[in-house]
Chains A and B, each alone.
Chain A
Amino acid sequence: MGTIRISGAEAVIRCLLAEGVDLIYGYPGGAIMPVYDELYKFQDQLHHVLVRHEQGATHAAQGYARATGKVGVAIATSGPGATNLVTGIADAQIDSTPMVCITGQVGRHLLGSDAFQETDIIGISTPVTKWNFQVTEASQIPEIIAKAFYIARSGRPGPVLIDITKNAQFDELDFSYEKCTGIRSYVPVPKLKLDKVAEAAALINSAKKPFIVFGQGIILGQAEAEFKAVLEKSGIPAAWTILGLSALPTDHPLNVGMLGMHGNYAPNLLTNECDVLIAFGMRFDDRVTGKLATYAKQAKVIHFEIDPAEVDKNVKTEVAVLGDVKESLAALLPLLDAKSHDLWHNEFKELAKIEYDTVIKDELNPETPGLSMGETIEMINKHSKGDAIIVSDVGQHQMFACRYAKFNSTKSNITSGGLGTMGFALPAAIGAKMGRPDREVVAIIGDGGFQMTIQELGTIFQTQVPVKIVILNNEFLGMVRQWQELFFDNRYASTKMINPNFTAIAEGYHIKSKKVTNREDLDAAVAEMLASKDSYFLEVMVEKENNVFPMIPTGACVSEIRLS
């Protein structure tokens, strides 16, 4: 393969292009300027989106990755530019999002000298990256960037950070690019053992009350079709974690709802009734399991998982099937007996009716003067028909969005699950819309989280990206307030929000906006928002002190789920 003599900075751009990257998010600064200079020259091939804060770059890259399945790329300068990436990197790590972050660094001769804008971003990012590396010589760039993309997207995906010293950007190298296809110390996908699949199948076939729980692994593994086939043949009820949401259409008859702290009544209660619990691509997070000592103790657990470190980490398995879930599901399908489990499904239906009567009915048809979050989401469903990508932030509105939003297709629910990063949604929606311009993208955000990354309205204005923004404003940090009400005797410490005029702020960024206070205006406002070709900002004033139910209090058992 021939080489060309170019600068390290140009090599960075050529590497990105070779990896199929056409869109990156970032913010310039001193130590990354040589790369920005090359971005200027390559702007017709590689589009750079200037965000308003580096955290926004990471969340936008995450939103892009989650909506497209491709690697998101964020770029920043050294020092504060790099440290501002950390929250997004941590979020991507815990939610297994493929992302490559590139940071500038002071010149090699200045490393360790406390130079201007020098931080040890390798040290800082180590615990929250799948891999990181400091490049100090231009000649290292092609190999390291190739490794970065390979590591970020292979196996269980995750964030990778590459820190490039300024001298390495300026110096020249003989450039050629070869994609990375393997690293000897890294096994991204464990080899599937067919005897384990057979063992799992036998256990599933013998089960009287089998129950499937699935997570983002189905989406990351692009195994939606295989999953649906297994589900439909086996007739087993299936419930999702919030990151698994949208892997299976909401209205699928075998979809029994959401697991965990604010999940549905039936799947939580019946977790402790099933005889075989089959987990696909999920990690038994504490928000899903509640108290581990009383979680599904009666059940034999089968875990289909790509990451060996997740097996037996929280829940002891009877059979662990390691490997790529798409392959495992395909191997499992022919071994399963066709069943319907009607009586068992009836148990789910009865409990679902109890939840509908005591919680959902009132949430969707409230008698309170203020609007409810649930009815707002339902109104979005009515107009989007379940075809929108919903990007939610963190808090009560997130739980309502996940509980009530309807999804017809996969990769449609984008939310910060593991880290619970307030401020995630606005920039993530920008990335999602840029990744999938063919789809409607609706960000659902609370009045608290919105103000954590509100500056990204500037990015929306500058790029004219047509995202729809819905603020569910209860003038409280609602989730914390709910906990204060339930567990801290109504002591509302620092949860009341005195908010600015949000629509005026949106107008300031030339984003069309509307505020809805009355129920009768909601329908038309949502219709107008979704019909808009441009970005649109909709503020909905909701009941101040509504709670999200059902709820499993922290440390309680899944069967102790409360309806009120």
Chain B
Amino acid sequence: MEDKTFTISVYSENNVGLLNRISGIFLKRHINILSLNVSESEIENVSRFIIVVNTTEKWVQNIVGQIEKQIEVIKAFYHTDEETIYLENALFKIASSLLFDEKQIQNIIKDSQSTIVTVSRDFFVISKSGRRSEIEELYQKFKPYGIMQFVRSGRISVSKEKMEISSLLETFK
């Protein structure tokens, strides 16, 4: 079985220590996490993990089974890239002088549909949401002019299929 990129979504109680428990499942199997995003979900007190890994379908099934087995995990899913709508976000910090000295910079910003978050005397910050390849492309375009700082978020994604977490929690009541 060949390795593929999978997005694992986990809905869980918002408890201290659960991140450790979940990351341990990957550690035990020697699987590297490519990106990890944990935040509060649309349901109060329920967290959502979005974990991206590159592995075989057999392993991802096994991992999702082990994650879902954890007491505080409500539900875990996995999806291939084709089954999700996904994005990451990136911030580029660039010297303000370039905005005036290098005409091309403005074109790059317009063409890439990125937005300027802030402008100060010394630097400005551009935000770009998109797929990894689009962010990579933008990075390559800015690179020759000099990037003061670059940071990329983990992946966030929504599945094309329904994830019925709210109704799942309803059934418990």
Contacts and interface: CB of A to CB of B under 8 A. Distances in A.
A127 B99 CA distance: 51
B17 A309 contact: no
Given A185-B12, A313-B62, A126 B20 contact: yes
A132 B17 contact: yes
Contacts of A508: none
B69 A185 contact: no
A131 B66 contact: no
A184 B71 contact: no
Nearest to B63: A309
A184 B74 CA distance: 8
Contacts of A308: 65, 68-69
Interface in B24-49: 24, 28
Contacts of A126: 17, 20-21, 24
A130 interface: yes
B65 A185 contact: no
Nearest to A182: B172
Secondary structure dominating the interface of B: helix
Q: How many of chain B's residues touch chain A, expressed as a range?
A: 20 to 34
A183 interface: yes
A123 interface: yes
A312 B73 CA distance: 21
B65 A313 contact: yes
A122 interface: yes
Contacts of B68: 308-309
Contact of A151 (B17, B28, B62, B71): B71
A316 B71 CA distance: 25
Contacts of B13: 185
Interface string A143-173: 0000000010000000000000000000000
Contacts of A131: 71-72
Contacts of B21: 126-127
B71 A130 contact: yes
Max chain B Cβ within 10 angstroms of own Cβ: one of A133, A309, A313:
A309
B169 interface: yes
Nearest to A311: B65
Given A308-B65, A313-B65, A185 B71 contact: yes
A309 B71 contact: no
A273 interface: no
B40 to A, nearest CB: 15
A186 B71 CA distance: 5
Contacts of B24: 126-127
Contacts of A151: 71
A311 B173 CA distance: 28
A191 to B, nearest CB: 11
A185 B74 contact: yes
Contacts of A122: 17
B113 interface: no
B56 interface: no
Q: Which 6 A-B pairs have the closest CB atoms?
A: A309-B65, A184-B172, A185-B74, A131-B71, A309-B69, A127-B24
Given A127-B24, A185-B71, A185-B72, 12 more contacts: A126-B17, A126-B24, A127-B21, A131-B72, A133-B17, A134-B16, A134-B17, A182-B172, A184-B169, A184-B173, A308-B65, A308-B68
14 contacts: A123-B20, A126-B17, A126-B21, A127-B21, A127-B24, A132-B17, A133-B17, A134-B17, A184-B169, A185-B13, A186-B71, A309-B65, A313-B62, A313-B65
Interface of B: 12-13, 16-17, 20-21, 24, 28, 61-62, 65-66, 68-69, 71-74, 169, 172-173
